[in-house]
Amino acid sequence: VEASIPEQLREAWRKHSASEFTSKEQFEKELVRHIETTLARSLYNCDDNAAYSGTALAFRDRLIIEWNRTQQRQTFNDQKRVYYLSLEFLMGRALDNAMLNVGQKEAARDGLKDLGFRIEDVISQEHDAALGNGGLGRLAACFLDSLATLNYPAWGYGLRYRYGIFKQEIIDGYQVEIPDYWLDNNPWEFPRHDVTVDIQFYGTVRKTQDQNGKVQHLWENGEIVQAVAYDVPIPGYGTKTTNNLRLWSSKASTGEFDFQKFNAGDYESAVADQQRAETISAVLYPNDNLERGKELRLKQQYFWCAASLFDIVRRFKKTKRAWSEFPDQVAIQLNDTHPTLAIVEMQRILVDIEDLEWDEAWRIVTKTFGYTNHTVLPEALEKWSVPLMQNLLPRHLQIIYEINLFFLQYVERNFPNDRDLLTRVSIIEESHPKMVRMAYLAIIGSHKVNGVAELHSDLLKTTLFKDFVEIYGPDRFTNVTNGVTPRRWLHQANPELSALIAKKLGGHEFLTDLTLLDKLEAFVDDKEFRTEWAAIKSRNKVRLAQLIKETTGYTVNPDALFDVQVKRIHEYKRQQLNIFGVIHRYLTIKGMSAEEKKKVVPRVSIFGGKAAPGYWMAKTIIHLINKVADVVNKDPDVGDLLKVIFIPDYNVSKAEVICPASDISEHISTAGTEGSGTSNMKFVLNGGLIIGTCDGANIEITREISEQNIFLFGNLAEDVEELRHRHFYGEFQLDPQLAKVFDAIKSNMFGDAAHFSALTASIEEHGDYYLVSDDFNSYIAAHAVVDQEFQNQKEWIAKSIASVARMGFFSTDRVINEYADSIWNVEPLAVKD
């Protein structure tokens, strides 16, 4: 039977095609229908959770209709599409976002109220979709929002992990990891049991010749695992475009389930095979900026790349175009090196399966792919051992060697007699065992390579990828500075501020053209506006104080200066610098007279973030923060002058409460280490000022909002190498103020000092790689300026407003348009109403 309904019967369909609700009454009808029928509940047993499910289903229906239409429209229009391949999509909650993007939150609020529910309680029932570690995964989520909002024909491709990033509990001051099983009761995904791809692993390659004597490579035997598609609708804001995020789930291939074993009564081992297949998409690796070369991780990468490429190629082949047109129809962006195997898989499809000549295939591949680098940290750069790859993906390894051969020949032709260069740029590192350098493969297989902030992209060109700039010229390398979506990070997270801005600017247009915020600058001196602005910040701080109370039991004073550092815990991000600064503040207050204390600006130091489970030093930092909190928060000498808070289980939904509530936030990485940072943008967009180093996007934020409005400190990236060199040769003097902090720690002030000895030793004895001591003095000085300036609230609020006014550059809408123009060469597909 043909899949589509014949033309003459379509009228009957259209008549019954699901309708949209645009009023409170229609929403209520849909909600009650879902609760009573889909969920089989009634008004006698409907709690907040059932109300959430019903509301989500009602909105889901709306999304599906536009989603189907969008897919039809895009297929019909037949223009170039973007595919964003990312191993992480840190989506957070979907309901609030869906309500706002389709413009029906008020109808839902009123409808829920009529039926006995508070919309905030209902929204907070949703479990975060936490398929990511941090900035890289959240950036991918912001990109999807902007791609849909700007009407680009675009798909995300990722993995459907059964377990997202672990939940963090703090027990006795230690991080404890709890598995995050999140898939029960997830109304936002659609299983597509008819969209499956068989993925091969292991096996052998046999070389033969076809009838014409052409050499062929047959990848045989091995193991087959099935990829099943799960689709998630991605609604744009204020547009009908609803794009697709396709996540692959692994399952034993039906052909693979061993019926022989089964029939022979070996049921358990048949089930074990099944489970082994399902393991591939079971869990997100919880590392941040670190690669550990585990076979299962490589399996995940290939599984996802192969399934996605099969899908993309299948869609292209339906258009019956010539292969040479592939790059005119398809742009594939690699989110870091994790999907680099897609380059190899594409070449394999074209050469081994579609029978193209190598050179022609390679031209198509390189025109199709773009690669984004997110970090210069050496421990994050992916390398896979050759023996491992040989075993798991024998044909792919051959293709990699072939790519490398042609590449090295090209280098040799252009730079004759430079053996050293050849060794340096070879995809294969001549170590024991040999390693495949994925970043080099990604550069060679792409037409554009970009970094994520100016300094970062410059560092790529002058250090990590210097040789490749020589080889290919500078044009292959570019910068696209990161951004955030103002829909989630202003409108959703800070509804009051969004409403106030809309009132002043005469509408919410700034949400789709963030540069319009510059009109706020006219109101910096408007007293009434400043008062309203301050009142909103204050209410947001009360909201955060409630979250702090609920999650830690501590009561904090919302009038104190809220100083926030929330992000993954990592030595390079330097939460240790922050907590040492807090200890310094504590000691200073302890040494004050009652008179002196009156001049102290009360402060709440707020931390949040997860440590990778195997990262001992990061866990030690969390432990120290919590032990300092234990001591400081109950010290009557200090009272409200200082509180230390560690908010457990930092995630996207908590970030939505935290970002609008900071007075200052900390972005204090060692200069030259943070690719971009994106929470820096979220905090400033919500009227918080920042204290930071000249690193990542802090530099461009400073340029936009001006040096007046940011508290910068610390050594510059260009000085780091020299300082490290000096430390290495024993030229190291512990900063005297930091020495006092260490003395306090060593006096067991915060519990057994032995717990923290690795942390202090890494600075005092092991070279202080992250320059904590070098930057300590200027960090403390910068905080003194913060205290000083916070006392002048009028000026402070003026800075806050002026900064927000100048944040227009940092929208992912600008970012996506840059990618579209300079890397993808794709156009939006306008939607007519």
CB nearer to ligand GL9: pick between 380 and 520: 380
| Whole-number Å distance between alpha carbons of 824 and 813 | 15
Q: To the nearest whole angstrom, how small is the minimum distance from the Cβ of residue 674 to ligand GL9? A: 5
CB nearer to ligand GL9: pick between 129 and 136: 136
| Whole-number Å distance between alpha carbons of 207 and 216 | 6
- In the complex, which residues of this chain contact ligand GL9 (CB under 6 A)? 133-137, 139, 288-289, 374-375, 380, 452, 482, 568, 674-678, 696
Report H helices in 692-771. Answer: 698-705, 717-728, 736-746, 757-764
| Whole-number Å distance between alpha carbons of 503 and 357 | 61
Q: To the nearest whole angstrom, how small is the minimum distance from the Cβ of residue 178 to ligand GL9? A: 19
- Tell me the CA distances in angstroms from 183 to 155, 198, 249, 275, one per residue in order: 22, 23, 12, 17
| Three-state SS annotation for 546-571 | HHHHHHHCCCCCCCCEEEEEECCCCH
Q: Dmax of the chain from CA atoms?
A: 96
Written as six digits, the tokens of 392 are 């798991």
Written as six digits, the tokens of 441 are 């493969």
> Does a cis peptide bond (omega within 30 degrees of 0) precede residue 235?
no
Quote the radius of gyration of the chain (alpha carbons, Å).
28
The separation between CA 55 and the C-alpha centre of its own chain, rounded to angstroms, equals 27
CB atoms within 10 A of CB 79: 14
| Whole-number Å distance between alpha carbons of 545 and 549 | 6
**Residue 676: CA atoms inside 13 Å, Cβ hemisphere, count?**
26
293 and 328 Cβ atoms separated by less than 8 Å: no
515 and 495 Cβ atoms separated by less than 8 Å: no
| Whole-number Å distance between alpha carbons of 77 and 416 | 49
Q: Starting from the edge strand earliest in sequence, which strands make up the sheet with 603-608, in order?
A: 642-647, 603-608, 561-566, 664-667, 689-692, 710-712
Q: To the nearest whole angstrom, how small is the minimum distance from the Cβ of residue 675 to ligand GL9? A: 3
816 and 152 Cβ atoms separated by less than 8 Å: yes
DSSP state of 709: G
Residues serving a catalytic function are: 374, 567-568, 573, 678, 682
Which residue's CB atom is positioned nearest to ligand GL9? 135
CB nearer to ligand GL9: pick between 582 and 701: 701
Q: To the nearest whole angstrom, how small is the minimum distance from the Cβ of residue 573 to ligand GL9? A: 9
Q: Which amino acid is it at 259? A: F
Q: To the nearest whole angstrom, how small is the minimum distance from the Cβ of residue 467 to ligand GL9? A: 22
**493-499: which pairs have CB atoms within 8 A and are 24 or more residues apart?**
493/655, 493/656, 493/657, 493/659, 493/660, 493/682, 493/686, 494/536, 494/540, 494/659, 494/660, 494/686, 496/536, 496/539, 496/540, 497/533, 497/536, 497/540, 497/660, 497/686, 497/687
> Under DSSP, is residue 255 helix (H, G, I), strand (E, B) or coil?
coil
Report H helices in 437-506. Answer: 438-444, 454-459, 466-472, 486, 495-505
CB nearer to ligand GL9: pick between 352 and 458: 458
> Under DSSP, is residue 189 helix (H, G, I), strand (E, B) or coil?
coil
